[in-house]
Amino acid sequence: MIRRKKTSGGQAIVMVTLALIAMCGMMGLAVDLGWSFFVEKQAQAAADGAALAAVQEAVSRLGGGGSAISGFTCGSSSAGTGASQVDCEPANPPTRCGSVLATSSLHVGCSFAKTNGFDDSVARQKVTMQSDGGTNRPPTAPGVVLISYWVTARTVQTIPQLFSAVLNNTQGTVSAIATAGIVGSITPGSFYGMNHAGDCWSLPGAPGVNCGMDIKNGSKGSIGPCPGGSGTGTICAPAGVFLSSTCNSSSPTGNTCSQPWAGDGGSHGGIETSSIVVMGTGGPPNGGAITGTWTNASGANVGATYSNNAATFKDPTSPNPQPPLQASSPIPSCGVLGGNLTGTVGPYQYYSYTTLLGGKPKPDGGQISINGTTTFSSAGGCPGILSGGSAQSGSFPTVVFWGGINVVGTMNLTAGQYVMAGTSVPDTPVMTTPSSGGTIQAADTTATNTGTMFVFTDGNYPGLGGPKVQGNSGGTGQISAIPNWDQMPALYQGNINVKNSTITMEGLVNSAVGGSTLPSSMNVYSGVVWWQDRRNSMVEYNENPAFAPHCSNCTKDDGTVVGCADQTAGQCTASQTTGEIVTDNHVTATSPGVQLDPGHGSINVNGVYYQPRGAWIQIIHGTGFGTGKLQTITGSLETTSGNDKFLLQGPTNPLITYKTALIQ
C-alpha cells in the first residue's frame, strides 16, 4: 500500500509538470502568437505611414506637383537635407532612423513611425529608411517602372515571450516593410465634362449659351457598335464618363442651366460607356440629370451614379501646373516674310513680318502659314531671318509660332512641343486649316515613339514673356530673342478650327516606355497630345469644383491669384466679369471653343485632349474620324450632325499623372 502510494504521488508531479510545459507551449501559441500578430499589424501600419509620409514630404519639398516630381533624380544637387532637397539613402543595409538627420525629408517618415509606436531609439525597436530615385527602381517592387522616387520603411520589434518562454523561446521578432513612391497613376475614364451649373459657352454678362451642359450628343447616325462592344453609340466612351454639372429640371434656367440636364446621350445610337458618374447627392433634383440613350458595351442601358465627392470631379491634371516650355533660355527666332513657311525647318520661334524697322524685321503678329511640305527637324534651318537665342539640342525641342498657324500644306512633325502663341485678331483661330484641308502628321518614328504636344495659348504663356502691349515690360522670356520684340502686337487666345484636315498624331509617351526620349520632367503630362491654356476659359481657372471660385483657388498657372478686382470677404464673385477674364487671360468670346470637323479629311489622334473647365469642344461628325482615340478632359462636349463615331480613349493610353502611393 505504502509503496503504491509513494509511486502515484510522484507520478502526479511528473504528469502535472509535463502537462504544464505542454500547456504553456499551447498557451504560447495562442497568446504569444496572437500578440505578435497584433504587434505586426501595428508594425505594418507604422511602416506604411512612415513610407507614405516620407514620400509626401518629398513631393512637397519638390513643389507639390508638376515636372519636378516626375523628373526627380538623386543627383548631388537634389539629394540632400536642405529645406527644398529630397534625401536619397540607397545604402544597403538601410539607414537607421537614428542616423537620419533632422533636416532630411526621411525624418518626417521616422517621426510618423514614432507616432505610430515605432521609435528607433528604443532598444527593442528598429526603424530603417531606404530611398532612391530617378532610374534606380525599388528592389522591393522592381515591376513598378513609372516611378521617380521611392522610400522603403522597415519596422522591427523584439517582443519578450510570455508562455512560449517555457519552451526556451524567450524572444520573438516581428517586422514589417512598406514601400511608397512618387508613381505614375493612370487617370480613369474616357471623358471629363468639368463645366458646372453656371459655366457657359459665352462670356460672363452675355446671354448664357449651353450653361451647365457637359455633354450633348447630337449625332444623327446609328451605325452599329463601338469597337470591342456590341451595343450602339456615336460617342464611344468605353472607360466611363464624368459629369460635373448638377443641372436638372428643378435648376434655375438662363445663365445657370440652359438645359434641364447635365448630359444628353441623344436619340441616334446614343453614347456607349461603362459608367456615368454625375455630381450630386443623388438623382434629380439632388444632382445632375442625364437624358437620351446611354448604353454599355453589351447594349444594355446604363444609369448614372452620383457622387458629391469633390475630388471625383477635380481637374485630373491638378495640382500640376501647365506644361512648361522645354527651353528655359530664349531659343533662336526666325522671322518669316509674310508668314510663309516651307521646307525643312528647325526648332525656332517663328514670327511673321512684312517690314523692317532699324534694319531688322518688325514682328506683325500674323499667322504663320505652313505651305507645301514643311518638315520640322533639328537639322532644319530658317528660311528667313535667324537671330538671337541659343540653339536647342535636346530630343524634345520647343517650337513657337507667334500668331498661330494656318496649315495650308503638309506639316511634318518630329517629337517636340509646338506652341501656338496667340492670334493678333481676336475671335480668330490660333490653329486653322483652309476649307480645302491641310495635313498635320507625325512624320518620323520619334514623333510616334516619344510623341508630340500642341499647346494652344496666347502670347503670355509661362516662359514666353508676352507682347509689350500686354504687360511684358522688360523684354524677358522667349520673346526677347525676337528683334524689335516690343513691336509685337497684342496676341489673344484663339479658337481652333481644322475642318477637312488630316491630322495624325500621338500624345506624349512616358520616358519609361522603350523607345521614348521624352524628358522625364514631362512624364507628368504623359498622354497629352493637345493642351489648351487653362486661362483660355469662361471661368477663371479654379481647380476646386465644389464652390464658386474663391480667390485662393482662382489661380493663374504660375500660382498667382487673378480676378480679384471685385473681391468681397476674401472671395471672388461667383462669376467673373467679362472685363476681368479678358484682361487677365486675353480670352475672347469664342476662343475657349474648338471645332473638330474632319469633313472629308481624317483625324487620327491618340492621346489626351486637355481643355480647362469653362472651355468646350464641338465635334461636327463628318466621315473622317478614324481609329484615333482621345481621352477628353474638357468643360463641355457637343456633337452635331454627321454619322461617324467619335472615339474616346479606353484605358490603354490615358493621362498618367504622378502621385504618392503605396506600391509594396
Partner 1 sequence: MNRPAITRRKQRGQAMLEFTFVGIPLMFVLISIFEMSRGMWMYHTMAFSVKDGVRFAVVHGINCINTTGTGGTNPNTCKKTIADIAAQIQGSAVIFDPTKTTLTFFPGDGGAASTPCTMVGAGAGGCPQFKTNAWPPFDSTGATSLDAVGKPIRIDITAPFQSALSMFWPGSRPVNFGTYTLGASSTDYVQY
* Positions that interact with partner 1 (CB under 8 A): 19, 22-23, 26-27, 29-31, 33-34, 37, 40-41, 44, 141, 143-146, 183-186, 188-190, 228, 238-240, 242, 274-275, 277, 509-510, 512-514, 526-527, 606, 650-654, 656, 661-664
| Of residues 277 and 431, the one with the C-beta less far from partner 1 | 277
Are 141 and 182 in contact by the 8 Å Cβ rule? The answer is no
Contacts of residue 342, Cβ cutoff 8 Å, sequence gap at least 6: 370, 371, 372, 373, 374, 383, 409
Helix axes 105-115, 33-61, angle to 10 degrees: 150
| SS3 of the chain: helix, strand, coil, percent, to 5 | 20, 30, 50
Q: Which of 182, 302, 289, 308 is nearest to 239 (CA)?
A: 302
CB atoms near residue 207 (< 10 Å) = 11
**How far apart are the C-alpha atoms of 289 and 608, rounded to whole Å?**
26
Q: Of the candidates 466, 610, 618, which has an alpha carbon nearest to the alpha carbon of residue 533?
A: 610
- Nearest CB to partner 1, comparing residues 425 and 661: 661
Nearer of residues 80 and 527 to partner 1, judged by Cβ: 527
Taking the complex as a whole, the smallest distance from the CB of residue 46 to partner 1 amounts, in Å, to 14
Q: 496667340: which residue's cell?
A: 422
Residue 529: which of 441, 629, 451 has the closest Cα?
Answer: 451
Beta-ladder partners of 647: 236
Give the residue with the Cβ less far from partner 1, 30 or 223: 30
Asked whether 386 and 349 are in contact (CB, 8 A), the reply is no
Smallest gap from Cβ 151 to partner 1, in A, equals 14
Nearer to partner 1, 262 or 538 (CB): 262
CB of 4 to partner 1, least distance (A): 11
Cell numbers 502535472 correspond to 16
Total Cβ atoms within 10 A of residue 647: 24
Residue among 279, 258, 265 nearest 217 (CA): 265
Residue 514 CB, nearest distance to partner 1 (Å)?
7
Residues 6+ apart with CB under 8 A from 19: none
Closest distance to partner 1 from the beta carbon of 235 (Å): 15
- Closest CA relative to residue 396, chosen from 14, 62, 67, 33: 67
CB of 1 to partner 1, least distance (A): 8
In the bound complex, what is the minimum distance in angstroms from residue 513's beta carbon to partner 1?
5
Compute the least distance from the CB of residue 283 to partner 1, in Å: 19
* 3-class DSSP assignment, residue 421: strand
Looking at beta carbons only, is 30 or 206 nearer to partner 1?
A: 30
**Pick 111 or 606: Cβ nearer partner 1:** 606
Please state, in angstroms and rounded to a whole number, the distance separating the CA atoms of residues 465 and 486: 11
Q: Which is nearer to partner 1, 276 or 564 (CB)?
A: 276
Q: Which amino acid is located at 389 in the chain?
A: G
Provide, rounded to whole angstroms, the least separation between the CB of residue 181 and partner 1.
Answer: 9
Exposure letters 365-401 (e unless 16+ CB within 10 A, then b): bbbbbbbeebbbbbebebbbbebbbeebeeebbbbbb
User: Cα-flanking dihedrals φ and ψ of residue 43, to 5°?
Assistant: -60, -40
Q: Which residue lies nearer to partner 1 by CB, 30 or 122?
A: 30
Quote the CA–CA distance of 491 and 373 in Å, as a whole number: 27
- Nearest distance in Å: CB 158, partner 1: 18
In the numeric block, which cell numbers belong to residue 538?
469662361
Q: Which is nearer to partner 1, 186 or 209 (CB)?
A: 186
Distance of closest approach, residue 288 Cβ to partner 1, in angstroms: 17
Of 474 and 514, which has the nearer Cβ to partner 1?
514
Compare residues 40 and 486 and give the one whose CB is closer to partner 1.
40
Q: Which is nearer to partner 1, 41 or 600 (CB)?
A: 41
Nearest CB to partner 1, comparing residues 40 and 444: 40
Minimum Å distance from CB 187 to partner 1?
9
Query: Residue 606 Cβ, how far from partner 1 at the closest point, in Å?
Result: 7
Name the grid cell of 624: 473622317
Q: Which helix (H) or strand (E) holds 594?
A: strand 593-596
CB-CB contact of 257 with 288 (8 Å): no
Angle at 129 (CA atoms; ends 128, 132), nearest 5 degrees: 155
* All cell numbers assigned to 636: 463641355
What cell does 594 get? 474648338
> In sequence order, what are the residues at sequence separation of 6 or more whose Cβ sits closer than 8 angstroms to the Cβ of residue 526?
184, 507, 508, 509, 510, 518, 655, 656, 657
The distance of closest approach from Cβ of residue 32 to partner 1 in the complex, given in angstroms and rounded to an integer, is 10
